[in-house]
Every structure is written in structure tokens, then in C-alpha cells.
Amino acid sequence: MERVNCGGWIGEIEVPDGWVRRLISMWAKLGGGQRGKAMSDELTFSSARELAERVANQQISSVELTQHYIDRIERLDGAVNAVVVRTFDSALEEARAADEALARGESLGPLHGVPMTIKESYVMRDTPSTWGIPAYKDNVSATDGLAVKRFRNAGAVFLGKTNVPIDLADFQSYNEIYGTTNNPWNAECVPGGSSGGSAASVAAGFAALEAGSDIGGSIRTPAHFCGVYGHKPTWGIVPQEGHELFAGVPDSDLSVCGPLARDAADLALALDVMAGPSEREAIGWKLDLPSPAFSNLSELRVAVWPTDEMAPVSAETADRVANVADKLAALGATVSDTARPDFDARKAHMTYQSLLTAVMSSAQPAEGVPMMQKFAAGFAADDSSTEAVNARAAVMLHRDWIRHNFRREKLRLAWDAFFQEWDVLICPQFTVPAIKHDHRPMTERTIEVDGAERPYFEPIFWAGLIIASYLPSTAFPTGPSTTGLPIGLQAVCGPYRDHQSIEIARLISEEIGGFTPPPGFE
């Protein structure tokens, strides 16, 4: 016996297991009480807040909405391969529970009945969390992790989980378990990584909201590639508990968890859901992020950093930074293209590389350490090449890590001084729009920037500039390139000014256009 809500009618019907979802799908495709077509046209790319409002006002049921997104995934995801773990039956159960709660006059939270997907690396009951690593293909959890719990407590309905690169360590999202995820704007291109499936799901209209993670641009680069919004929070405000291969892992340095969406205001809502102390920390402290310290764009003091010799960006990307700067200046903002924090960008990047490699290499097998130590010893002491920096960082002593941490603190102090004078930094997220699939060994890959072959990981400079000092950054779309691929930029603010960077991204997008659906997914 199944209890079903269809367009406001709630009743019980007796059908074989698994048939309820199919019956609801058939009903929705027939029109859903003359609302099916309108739902498809009006709601697919609505914001999570708008959808929650419509469910609350009973303009649409959560079951209808959930089935609508299920139908889109089943019809369109074959060309994208974003939602690789599907929990459709349980999603409809959650949606029915949301509708029944609403009928009783109960609110489950700001996302009551809103369908979403989430990155595969998060822990969610009865689903695998593999991080794309074949050895963990059977790593299925019996319980929800903290982030999933918080979204469920806010009323969200989970449709499934989205694809990642192996070990979350690539600009591309492919692995042996789930295959390759394509960019909805161009299937020959990547959606980014490691939250590539997340950005593709949101861009293609498979869900209203997503959660990803970022240690090397893994939220912001996919947002840039797919033309959506992504927020990298200030380090430490969102617990990493529940974003893990196995329980009991402490929060790692640099890495953060954060949201992706088609609407900047949804980032603020989702951040408030995700952020705050874990159960242990909540005994002694609470989070109180400040509201934006401005009322309109004309009040802002804006620094722009269009390109850098450390990671030269395409002329079109640099022009997009300049265009945004010109727009802000025309609105009355104070704009500078020469203001910079008081540090050497090359040394700052070396600090980030060293801290990043320390995290990423921490799980290397013990038998590989002597070989890496020998390899690192082969570089001259004054060799500051990427290869030398990474080799030394992979086997550094703890005292060496502490020295890098001291260098990081100097960077943070320089940023503190910078943000005393400037409200926001606008800069690129990546050197070019979405790159084409390339599954060769990473050492053989390059990225073409205006006809020049550049090192594959060089663009991480733009992500690391922000990550190393724990700053918040919001990636926002600025419209397509001449090749039709999105170009996104970063709005970076001082520590804990997360709502300010999100609000600046939102207001800029109001001026220049914001999210648009990829062709073929409208």
C-alpha cells in the first residue's frame, strides 16, 4: 500500500513495489491537472527559493516537482552523465513526506520539498561515497553525513549524487566507476572538477541546488566552466564532517565544502544551511557571519586583477574582467586595476603549492616515501620550479610545514591590510573557458591559451591565490565566450565576509545578465 500526493490529492492505492514512481511519472507527462506543461516551462530553471515558495503556497507539490526533475534526468542526462548515483524512489518518498507535512501545517525549513543533488564525495545513507576510487566502489554508508543531515533538516529532497574525478584531483570529472561527465554547453568539453557533476547538474536543470568541495578551485572552476554560481567559504565555517571516505577524519587544511546554484541568492541560503559548528564545537562557539557592509554597487571600492604572468589568461577572459570593472565604475564604484596585496605572487603561489601538496600526498603509501625523498633530493636547494616545490612538499618534515604556515600567516596579514582599503577583488577563476576532454596522463596534458601551450595545472594559481589564505570567493557567470562557452569570474572578499562576496556577485549579475541555460537544455 502506497500513500501518494498528486497535485493536492492525497490518497492510498495498492500497487506492486516500484510502480508508484512510474504512475506519478505517467500522470505528470499527461499534464498533471493541466499544470505539467507550465511546470516544465516555468520551473525547471527557477531558483531554490522560488521553488520552496511555490511548494509552501501549494502552487505545486513536492512530488510533482521531484518527478519533473527525475523525468529531466532520465531524458537528458545520457548526454551529460552528471547524476551517476540515483535515489529516485527514496526522493519521491521524501517528497510525499514533505507534502504531508505541509498538509498538516508544518514547515520543514527553507528548502521544504525542494529537490537537489549532491557531490558523490558526500556521505548519504544507502549510497556509495567512492571519490571515484575503484577500491572504494562498495563504500556504502548506512547513515547520512553532517551536510546531508543539514540539508534534509532544511527540507531538501535528494535526487542522487553527482560525478567526480578520481580522488577529487582533476579539472575533469571521470573515473572507472561512473565514466565521464560532459559539459552541458558542449559535450566535447569538460564540466570541471572536482565538483564537475555538481555544476553540470545545476546548469542542465537537473536540480535547483548542489553542494561541492574546493581545495584547488573544485567548486569555482566547474561553476566557471558550466556558467553557474559557486561559493568557496572562508575556511573553517563549514564542517568537513560528512565529506569523507570513512568516518573520523579531521578537517583537512585548505579544503572547504560549499554550495553551487543557478542563483546567487541561493548560495547565501545554502551557505547558512551548511555553515556552523559541528556538534562537538557547538558546545563552545557559534557562527555569526556579518551582513554585507554596503547597500549598492556604487559604494564599493573594487580592485581588479585581470591577468598575471604566473598564469596568463586568455585575452577574452582578461577583457571580461575589464568589462565588469568598467560597468562598476560607470555605476559609481571606485575601481583600481593596480591595487594588489603586499606580497610577491610567485612566493605566495609556492606557499600554496607546498601546503596543497602536503595535504594531497598525506595518504601516499609508506613504501613510496623513500623514492619520493630521493627524487626531491635531486633538485637544487634554490630550485623553485613547480616540480621541485611539489616534490619537496610531498615528503616535508612537520617543522617545514610549520615554516610554510608562518609564510601563510604573512599572506593573511597582507590580505587583511588589503581589505581595509578595498571591499572586493574581481579576478579570473581559470585561464580559459572549458577545456576539451583529455584522458592522457596528467604529465602529458597542456592547456592552450590564445594559441600557446601552457602547463596543465598552471591555472590553479587563480584558485590558490584565495585558498592559501582561507578567503571566501564567489564564482559568477559573465556570459558566453566567442566560442559559446561560459566565462566566470571570482568576487573575493576578506575573511568571514562570505555574504558580501555572494551579494556582490548577485548584484553584478543583475547588471550583466547572470545564468542562462545551455542550448538544448532550455
Q: How many helices (H) and strands (E) does the chain have?
A: 16, 17
Q: Which three cell numbers stand for residue 104?
A: 498538516
- Does 218 qualify as catalytic in the annotation? yes
Q: Are 81 and 146 in a shared domain?
A: yes
Residue whose C-alpha cell is 613504501: 367
pLDDT by position in tens, the chain (length 522): 444 434 333 344 444 444 444 444 444 443 444 444 445 657 999 999 999 999 999 999 999 999 999 999 999 999 999 999 999 999 999 999 999 999 999 999 999 999 999 999 999 999 999 999 999 999 999 999 999 999 999 999 999 999 999 999 999 999 999 999 999 999 999 999 999 999 999 999 999 999 999 999 999 999 999 999 999 999 999 999 999 999 999 999 999 999 999 999 999 999 999 999 999 999 999 999 999 999 999 999 999 999 999 999 999 999 999 999 999 999 999 999 999 999 999 999 999 999 999 999 988 888 888 888 889 989 998 898 999 899 898 999 999 999 999 999 999 999 999 999 999 999 999 999 999 999 999 999 999 999 999 999 999 999 999 999 999 999 999 999 999 999 999 999 999 999 999 999 999 999 999 999 999 998
Query: Using CA atoms, how far apart are residues 435 and 430, in angstroms rounded to an integer?
Result: 10
pTM here is 0.92
Structural domains of the chain, count: 2
190 lies in some domain: yes
Q: Which of 61, 173, 195, 218 is catalytic?
A: 218
Q: Which of 46, 47, 141, 194 is catalytic?
A: 194
171 lies in some domain: yes
Q: Would you state the pLDDT for residue 41?
A: 58
Q: Are 353 and 235 in a shared domain?
A: no
Q: Which of 119, 173, 195, 314 is catalytic?
A: 119
Q: Are 313 and 452 in a shared domain?
A: yes
Q: Are 437 and 333 in a shared domain?
A: yes
Q: Which three cell numbers stand for residue 95?
A: 517528497
Q: Are 27 and 113 in a shared domain?
A: yes
379 lies in some domain: no
- Does 436 qualify as catalytic in the annotation? no
Q: Are 212 and 353 in a shared domain?
A: no
Query: Using CA atoms, how far apart are residues 497 and 491, in angstroms rounded to an integer?
Result: 11
Q: Are 314 and 277 in a shared domain?
A: no
Q: Would you state the pLDDT for residue 39?
A: 53
pLDDT in tens, 12-24: 444 444 444 444 4
Q: Are 425 and 278 in a shared domain?
A: no
Q: Would you state the pLDDT for residue 420?
A: 98
CATH number at residue 278: 3.90.1300.10
Q: Is residue 194 within 8 Å of residue 188, measured between CB atoms?
A: no
- Does 194 qualify as catalytic in the annotation? yes
Query: Using CA atoms, how far apart are residues 377 and 46, in angstroms rounded to an integer?
Result: 55
The residues that bridge with 260 in the sheet, in sequence order, are: 210, 230
Cα torsion 498, 499, 504, 509: sign: positive
Q: Are 243 and 355 in a shared domain?
A: no
Q: Is residue 350 within 8 Å of residue 384, measured between CB atoms?
A: yes
User: Where among 257, 283, 309 does a domain terminate?
Assistant: 283
Cα torsion 196, 142, 15, 157: sign: negative
Q: Which domain holds residue 351?
A: 297-366+407-512
Q: Are 330 and 218 in a shared domain?
A: no
Q: Are 98 and 126 in a shared domain?
A: yes
E strands, 189-310, are: 209-214, 229-232, 256-261, 301-304
